[in-house]
Amino acid sequence: MTVLDLPLVIEADELAPLLGQDGLLVVDLCQEPTYNQYHIPGAVHIEYGQIIASNPPVHGLLPEVSNIERLFSVIGINNDTHVVAYDDEGGGKAARLLWTLEVMGHKRMSILNGGLYAWANDGHQLDSGAVEVKPTTFTSHYSAEPIAETDYILENLNSDDVVLIDARSADEYSGRQMMSSRGGHIPGAKHWDWQEIMDPLNNQRFKGRAELERALADRGVTPDKQVITYCQTNHRSSLTYIALKSLGYTQVKSYPGSWSDWGNREETPIEN
């Protein structure tokens, strides 16, 4: 395997021999103290807050394109770089970076399956301290294809060809736990807690393909449909987005702002 043909979901054993190769950049989205203590050799660090924007009470929005271009350039991503992202919380932050890359028109990207846990527990080398960052130039080729805005969802609520997946907890989905001015879920949305994607007995890697496909089929989510993922801020649902992509779903969008947007509006319908 070379940098030119990496899969969307990459295993630690596949990544290890490629470290240091030209055209590959590993991006760490763990907490900074964790990064300073141990990280994958050569990985550059960014904070999750650098790839999201807020307009309270709405959070998890896409930053200005110019800000993303500047960030990617500073950490060494150019338009030919293959980015491998990881975190230490199951993949939500890393997946959000991949979704952002896709919005910026960048297709060369992977998520490290299981993130830092899988890397460390599989016995791979860890480094500490600073990493030399080599700035470059990233130019956005913005694409709205991965994005589902509020109006788009409203227009398609009754479409048989569109299905929504709510990646929050069962209590959030039902409205028992409210993190916005209103509780509940988008009408017709199927509940699939993002934690059900991960295997806690396998270092938080994705569960097996057959198990994930069965979970989707049980919810009526099939590859012929347009699928929209959301959670509270499009953090957890970014992992759902990447999971669907890895299973061959081609018509997938995510909702920036998610329930922090929908649940704080007055005109949007809800179910609970």
* Per-residue pLDDT reduced to its tens digit, 40-72: 999 999 999 999 999 999 999 999 999 999 999
Mean pLDDT, the chain, rounded, equals: 97
30 noted as active-site residue: no
Amino acid at the residue 248: G
CATH of domain 150-262: 3.40.250.10
* Per-residue pLDDT reduced to its tens digit, 93-126: 999 999 999 999 999 999 999 999 999 999 999 9
Question: What's the pLDDT band for 5 if we cut at 50, 70, 90?
Answer: confident
Of 231, 242, 244, 252, which is the active-site residue? 231
Rounded to 10°, the helix 92-103/236-246 angle is 70
- By C-alpha distance, which of 256, 270, 261 is closest to 68? 256
3-121: CATH topology: Oxidized Rhodanese; domain 1 (3.40.250)
- pTM for the full model? 0.97
* Per-residue pLDDT reduced to its tens digit, 186-212: 999 999 999 999 999 999 999 999 999
Amino acid at the residue 25: L
* Per-residue pLDDT reduced to its tens digit, 229-258: 999 999 999 999 999 999 999 999 999 999
> What are the residue ranges spanned by the domains of the chain?
3-121, 150-262
pLDDT at residue number 129? 83
3-121 matches 150-262 in fold: yes
